């Protein structure tokens, strides 16, 4: 065991918790199920927020903020929605020292309260589409907790839009799904399968739920973001109506879509290895760490002079760079420490490098000597750093893509399905024409769940692996978080 | 009454609520005391966040996130803190369908929970100073609500730092106060008085509370941000200790400091006039609105061609610019509408301007003809816009400074004090050597409160206006929100 981190092969779940502790990403708090997101973990979340927020604004959305507390009667208007969330609610019953006449639900999601206000803001077709996002905390009472993946309180963004027609609302639902794909693949370097959820996994109250599913290092699936077409159900519940061009009153079609701090868990598990985190440069709070190396005082001065020059040079190019100036730790310790924290690349500068007016690069995504480049001339450092960061970003994505390809299995019988899950896990790509009950049976027998019906799927007919029915519908099954 | 906004002189409080409704900044929500921050109001908050966050990072702070829920027993450790906040708490007693064994307090502020975690993170002097900020929502049960100024739930940032010595902690407390002054004056264009609070107004559990106080349009004071030196009180309560260089265990000295969505209220009230909002360019969500003017279809095409060119030109320079393309509203309506919404400057482009290859500027801070500039050549628009935005920013600050100077009164007797408050209100600058009871008496008799003991005050001796005692201590009294 290096760095107090359990090897993945020994116990993946412990590996995950070890990394979170050692890299100081998060820790449990006193209120059961809540976590503290520590500065390094929060910086990762800030990078995720920034990548998403830019994309939301580029697609015409604005941010707003709706209340944390929702009166219980308002929350209970949409029947399926309530059924889905009621068991998970935290409820405020005391305010300012008195028992409240009406208890307040701490929002588990905001369709109910946002719809209530949209009904006031939307009068005419001219007010549509209404495209709003909110960054907020939400609370869902969870019995089994795991930092970032499942916590009682979590941070997320929730987009809520209202449209004049079903077509426009469905287009928005898929547009935001594509925004999520773009973010996952290009910023988080995680290839994802986009698909539609089965009825069993559809958001309570939605007509359709779309999802992006990524493969984690233990070959399990993680749902990384969802986008819902809500039809006119929430519009009906809140009377979100508009006068169309012909002065006829119509119900709006609405959507909602969200990505949460769960994305931090995805980045940890899609890229991490036995040494620790491996962060994609686009999201890494520190993209480059510079480690100065010296023995004698005279060396120290000349080394630090070059270190400072490189530091300033990179910072001025907008690269997030840190110099590890600790004088009570060896360079070797520092290498391990920053590797464990997933910093994409390291620059080593010692007396010989100063003499040769060059530096050494080491990349996190390729271990040992293979990942080192010697003699990078000082004059080229900024340019070469940018090039290498791009290359690491792309390489992490390709490695994840390869892992997924290696562990996605096309099976045509339920026997083969069960064998694969027992022997090696992974994604199972199958023809599917089953029901909710069939999904439940599969979960009981194999622990795998239907992740999605992929959108980009072949349409060749085949036999449903469970029911034997002919179908052109494909499905992805996997064990999942 | 223009634009459905009550004149300030008629009813300042109604003027404030009218602006918030008409400019679509916020609205009340169903949970009593909660508000929805609408997109235009939230964009203003995003600009405030961005200006503060940059300054926090420049002074070495990092962000993190601590839980919304605090177990009641943890919250109750610091006696004065509890006494101050207990009457204002919202309490969760039900989670996941069951009554909780221990109720959870919805954070009214986070000293208690953050201190609890700092105690685990800090071991040695090498871990200090610890400089963390969090952006979060907090809840304080308020009986009288006013949007942005006093709401049950509000958004804020709360910085929490731990230091090895009192000197360092006091230095941090004042450094962050100066960061607030810098933000208020340069971004919000609101001159502020920095001072220390009297015992009566000190944060529950703090040793000293520092404040920045601004003057609003009705001559009342608004506390716009506070910075607290907490001594070792919270360190004691949570056992936040470190081993110093001599291996001796010591208690940390801690600070906390915060600015909230109240700052949006400050911007509205410090600059707004009877036409509506007047936003400082640094914070304005829309800095420039372009209004195209035409009558015939042929004009429309040539006007819009120039409008698009100017729009692109300004946007590429990083200016937040919007074109009002509505075809169902007259230019006159649009002028009023954007003036009401406080957009700092307007560019008008009509057929004659196209012919002359020039545009017209109108600045929001100077009404009517006086604020217009004709014949700005197209080639100079970007440069001239930047210059004018700077000038508006500075002018708003100077106007607010003038208002404050005109309404700050140096008085030397309690009779004069009472007369000024009855006749014209404003800030009263007095010698002060009174007690908490004296402050209470003044508030009962005049409704004015002691805003602060200014830091940048003369030290000439004089007579306390109430007690007659000789003192060199000055104080600012005013009616306040």
pLDDT at B155: 98
pLDDT at A1: 45
Q: B53 vs chain A: nearest CA distance in angstroms? A: 12
**Confidence band, pLDDT 50/70/90 cuts, at residue A30:** confident
Q: Which of B292, B294, B297, B328 is nearest to B310 (CA)?
A: B292
**Confidence band, pLDDT 50/70/90 cuts, at residue B31:** confident
Query: Measured between alpha carbons, how far is B224 from B258 in angstroms, rounded to an integer?
Result: 9
Q: Is the pLDDT of residue B1 over 70?
A: no
Identify the closest residue of chain A to B87 by CA–CA distance: A96
Tokens at A465, concatenated: 């692996």
> Are A91 and B96 inside 8 Å of each other by CB?
no
Q: What is the CATH number of domain B288-389?
A: 3.40.50.800
Tokens at A125, concatenated: 């077709």
> Are B89 and A67 inside 8 Å of each other by CB?
no
Tokens at B14, concatenated: 């109604």
Between the alpha carbon of residue B106 and those of residues B97, B113, B223, B397, the distances in Å are: 18, 11, 24, 38
pLDDT at A2: 54
> Are A64 and B153 inside 8 Å of each other by CB?
no
Span B145-159, mean pLDDT? Answer: 97
Query: Which residue in the set A29, A43, A328 is minimally distant from B62, CB to CB?
Result: A43
The alpha carbon of residue B289 and the mean position of all alpha carbons in its chain are separated, in whole angstroms, by: 25
- Residues of chain A neighbouring B88 (CB-CB closer than 8 A): 96
pLDDT at B143: 80
Between the alpha carbon of residue A427 and those of residues A189, A262, A327, A460, the distances in Å are: 19, 20, 48, 19
> Are B74 and A30 inside 8 Å of each other by CB?
yes
Span B178-194, mean pLDDT? Answer: 98
- The pLDDT > 90 percentage for chain A reads 92
- Would you tell me how many other CB atoms lie within 10 Å of the CB of residue B249? 9
Query: Measured between alpha carbons, how far is A333 from A286 in angstroms, rounded to an integer?
Result: 18
Q: Which of B350, B341, B338, B344 is nearest to B374 (CA)?
A: B350
> Are B36 and A97 inside 8 Å of each other by CB?
no
For domain B12-271, the CATH architecture is 2-Layer Sandwich (3.30)
> Are B37 and A69 inside 8 Å of each other by CB?
no
Q: Which of B324, B340, B198, B344 is nearest to B283 (CA)?
A: B344
> Are B95 and A95 inside 8 Å of each other by CB?
no
Between the alpha carbon of residue B71 and those of residues A90, B68, B77, B79, B120, the distances in Å are: 14, 10, 11, 15, 18
Q: What is the CATH number of domain A408-478?
A: 3.30.110.30
> Are B45 and A65 inside 8 Å of each other by CB?
yes
Query: Measured between alpha carbons, how far is A466 from A443 in angstroms, rounded to an integer?
Result: 12
Locate CATH 3.30.110.30 in chain A: 408-478
Between the alpha carbon of residue B475 and those of residues A114, A385, A451, B181, B229, the distances in Å are: 46, 56, 66, 19, 20
Q: If 0-12 CB within 10 Å is exposed, 13-18 middle and 19+ buried, where does residue B437 land? A: exposed
Query: Measured between alpha carbons, how far is A151 from A136 in angstroms, rounded to an integer?
Result: 14
- Residues of chain A neighbouring B41 (CB-CB closer than 8 A): 64
Query: Measured between alpha carbons, how far is B251 from B165 in angstroms, rounded to an integer?
Result: 9
Pairing mode, if any, of strands B427-431 and A288-292?
unpaired
Span A82-99, mean pLDDT? Answer: 92
pLDDT at A177: 98
- CA dihedral A91→A94→A99→A101, nearest 10 degrees, is -50
Identify the closest residue of chain B to A70 by CA–CA distance: B31
> Are A120 and B27 inside 8 Å of each other by CB?
yes
CA-based R_g, chain A, Å: 25
- The pLDDT > 90 percentage for chain B reads 92
Span A131-151, mean pLDDT? Answer: 95
The mean predicted confidence, pLDDT, of chain A is 96
Query: Measured between alpha carbons, how far is A59 from A74 in angstroms, rounded to an integer?
Result: 31
> Are B89 and A74 inside 8 Å of each other by CB?
no
pLDDT at A444: 97
Long-range contacts of B12-19 (CB under 8 A, 24+ apart): B12/B217, B12/B218, B15/B272, B15/B274, B16/B146, B16/B265, B16/B268, B16/B269, B16/B272, B17/B147, B19/B268, B19/B272, B19/B276, B19/B277, B19/B340
> Are B45 and A64 inside 8 Å of each other by CB?
no
- Number of continuous H segments (helices) and E segments (strands) in chain A: 14, 25
Answer yes or no: are the C-beta atoms of B115 and B238 closer than 8 Å. yes
ipTM over 0.90: yes
| Residue indicated by tokens 């030290």 | B459
* pLDDT (tens digit per residue) in A280-320: 999 999 999 999 999 998 999 999 999 999 999 999 999 99
- Residues of chain A neighbouring B62 (CB-CB closer than 8 A): 39, 42-43
The three-state (H, E, C) secondary structure of chain B, written as one string:
CCCCCCCCCCCHHHHHHHHHHHCCCEEECCCCCCEEECHHHHHHHHHHHHHHHHHHHHCCCEECECCCEEEHHHHCCCHHHHHHHHHHCEEEEEECCEEEEEEEEECCCCHHHHHHHHHHHCCEHHHCCEEEEEEEEEECCCCCCECCCECCEEEEEEEEEEECCHHHHHHHHHHHHHHHHHHHHHCCCCCEEEEECCHHHCCCCCCEEEEEEEECCCCCEEEEEEEEECCCHHHHHHCCEEECCCCCEEECEEEEEEEECHHHHHHHHHHCECCECCCCCCCCCCCEEEEECCCCHHHHHHHHHHHHHHHHHHHHCCCCEEECCCCCCCHHHHHHHHHHCCCCEEEEECHHHHHHCEEEEEECCCCHHHHEEEEEEHHHHHHHHHHHHHHHHHHHHHHHHHHHHHCEEECCCHHHHHHHHHHCCCEEEEECCCCHHHHHHHHHHHCCEEEEEECCCCCCCEECCCCCCEECCEEEEECEC
3-state secondary structure of B2: coil
Q: Write down how long chain B is.
A: 481
Q: A419 vs chain B: nearest CA distance in angstroms? A: 37
> Are B91 and A87 inside 8 Å of each other by CB?
no
> Are A71 and B97 inside 8 Å of each other by CB?
no
Give the sign of the dihedral formed by CA A469, CA A473, CA A474, CA A475: negative
Q: Which of B434, B315, B404, B296 is nearest to B354 (CA)?
A: B296
Answer yes or no: are the C-beta atoms of B478 and B239 closer than 8 Å. no
Identify the closest residue of chain B to A37 by CA–CA distance: B65
- Residues of chain B neighbouring A320 (CB-CB closer than 8 A): none
Q: Is the pLDDT of residue A372 over 80?
A: yes
| CATH superfamily of the domain spanning A288-391 | Anticodon-binding domain (3.40.50.800)
Q: Which of B211, B209, B147 is nearest to B184 (CA)?
A: B211
Answer yes or no: are the C-beta atoms of A23 and A342 closer than 8 Å. yes
Q: Best of B95, B105, B126 to disrupt the A interface by mutation (most A CBs within 10 Å)? A: B95
* pLDDT (tens digit per residue) in A113-129: 999 999 999 999 999 99
* pLDDT (tens digit per residue) in B268-318: 999 999 999 999 999 999 999 999 999 998 999 999 999 999 999 999 999
Query: Measured between alpha carbons, how far is A159 from B312 in angstroms, rounded to an integer?
Result: 28
> Are A31 and B153 inside 8 Å of each other by CB?
no
Span B71-75, mean pLDDT? Answer: 91
Q: Best of B21, B44, B68 to disrupt the A interface by mutation (most A CBs within 10 Å)? A: B68
User: pTM higher than 0.90 for the full model?
Assistant: yes
Identify the closest residue of chain A to B57 by CA–CA distance: A43
Locate CATH 3.40.50.800 in chain A: 288-391
Locate CATH 3.30.930.10 in chain A: 12-271
> Are B90 and A104 inside 8 Å of each other by CB?
yes
The helix (run of H) or strand (run of E) holding residue B351 is helix B351-356
* pLDDT (tens digit per residue) in B214-271: 999 999 999 999 999 999 999 999 999 999 999 999 999 999 999 999 999 999 999 9
Query: Which residue in the set B36, B92, B94 is minimally distant from A67, CB to CB?
Result: B36
* pLDDT (tens digit per residue) in B386-436: 999 999 999 999 999 999 999 999 999 999 999 999 998 999 999 999 999
Say how many CB pairs under 8 Å bridge A and B.
164
Q: Is the pLDDT of residue B117 over 80?
A: yes
> Are A69 and B94 inside 8 Å of each other by CB?
no
Q: A319 vs chain B: nearest CA distance in angstroms? A: 16
- Residues of chain B neighbouring A62 (CB-CB closer than 8 A): 39, 42-43
Query: Measured between alpha carbons, how far is B86 from B140 in angstroms, rounded to an integer?
Result: 9
Answer yes or no: are the C-beta atoms of A62 and A132 closer than 8 Å. yes
* pLDDT (tens digit per residue) in B346-386: 999 999 999 999 999 999 999 889 999 999 999 999 999 99
Q: Is the pLDDT of residue A152 over 90?
A: yes
Query: Measured between alpha carbons, how far is A76 from B312 in angstroms, rounded to an integer?
Result: 47
- Residue B208's φ and ψ, nearest 5 degrees, are -135, 140
Tokens at A25, concatenated: 């990403």
Cα angle for residues A329, A331, A336 (degrees, 5° grid): 90
Q: B26 vs chain A: nearest CA distance in angstroms? A: 9
Identify the closest residue of chain B to A108 by CA–CA distance: B96
Q: Is the pLDDT of residue A231 over 60?
A: yes
Span B114-118, mean pLDDT? Answer: 96
């Amino acid at each position: 065991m290096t760095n107090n981190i359990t090897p993945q092969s020994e116990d993946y779940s412990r590996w995950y918790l070890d990394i979170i502790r050692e890299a100081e990403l998060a820790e449990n708090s006193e209120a059961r199920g809540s976590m503290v997101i520590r500065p390094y973990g929060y910086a990762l979340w800030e990078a995720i927020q920034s990548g998403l927020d830019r994309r939301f604004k580029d697609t015409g959305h604005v941010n707003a903020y709706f209340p944390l507390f929702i009166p219980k009667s308002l929350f209970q208007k949409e029947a399926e929605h309530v059924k889905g969330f009621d068991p998970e609610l935290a409820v405020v019953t005391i305010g300012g020292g008195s028992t409240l006449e009406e208890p307040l639900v701490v929002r588990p999601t905001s369709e109910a309260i946002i719809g209530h206000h949209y009904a006031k803001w939307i009068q005419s077709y001219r007010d549509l589409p209404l495209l709003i996002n909110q960054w907020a905390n939400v609370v869902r009472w969870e019995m089994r907790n795991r930092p970032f993946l499942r916590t009682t309180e979590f941070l997320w963004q929730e987009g809520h839009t209202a449209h004049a027609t079903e077509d426009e609302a469905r287009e928005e639902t898929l547009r935001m799904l594509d925004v999520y794909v773009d973010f996952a693949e290009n910023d988080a370097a995680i290839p994802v399968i986009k698909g539609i959820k089965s009825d069993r996994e559809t958001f309570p109250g939605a007509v359709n739920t779309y999802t992006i599913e990524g493969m984690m290092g233990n070959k399990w699936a993680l749902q990384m973001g969802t986008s819902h077409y809500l039809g006119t159900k929430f519009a009906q519940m809140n009377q979100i109506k508009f006068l169309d061009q012909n002065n006829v009153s119509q119900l709006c079609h609405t959507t909602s879509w969200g990505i949460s701090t769960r994305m931090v868990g995805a980045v940890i598990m899609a890229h991490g290895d036995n040494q620790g985190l491996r962060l994609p440069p686009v999201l890494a709070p520190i993209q480059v760490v510079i480690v100065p190396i010296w023995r004698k005082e005279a060396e120290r001065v000349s080394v630090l002079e070059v270190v400072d020059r490189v530091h300033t040079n990179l910072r001025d190019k907008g690269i997030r760079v840190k110099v590890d100036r600790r004088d009570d730790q060896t360079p070797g310790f520092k290498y391990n420490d920053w590797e464990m924290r997933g910093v994409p690349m390291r620059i080593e500068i010692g007396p010989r490098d100063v003499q040769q007016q060059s530096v050494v690069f080491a990349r996190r995504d390729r271990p040992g000597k293979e990942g080192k480049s010697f003699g990078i001339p000082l004059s080229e450092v900024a340019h070469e750093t940018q090039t290498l960061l791009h290359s690491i970003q792309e390489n992490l994505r390709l490695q994840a893509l390869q892992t997924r390809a290696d562990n996605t299995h096309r099976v045509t019988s339920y026997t083969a399905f069960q064998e694969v899950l027992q022997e090696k896990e992974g994604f199972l790509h199958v023809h599917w024409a089953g029901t909710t009950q069939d999904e439940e049976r599969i979960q009981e027998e194999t622990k795998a769940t239907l992740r999605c019906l992929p959108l980009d799927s072949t349409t060749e007919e085949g036999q449903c692996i469970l029911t034997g029915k002919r179908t052109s519908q494909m499905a992805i099954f996997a064990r999942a978080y």
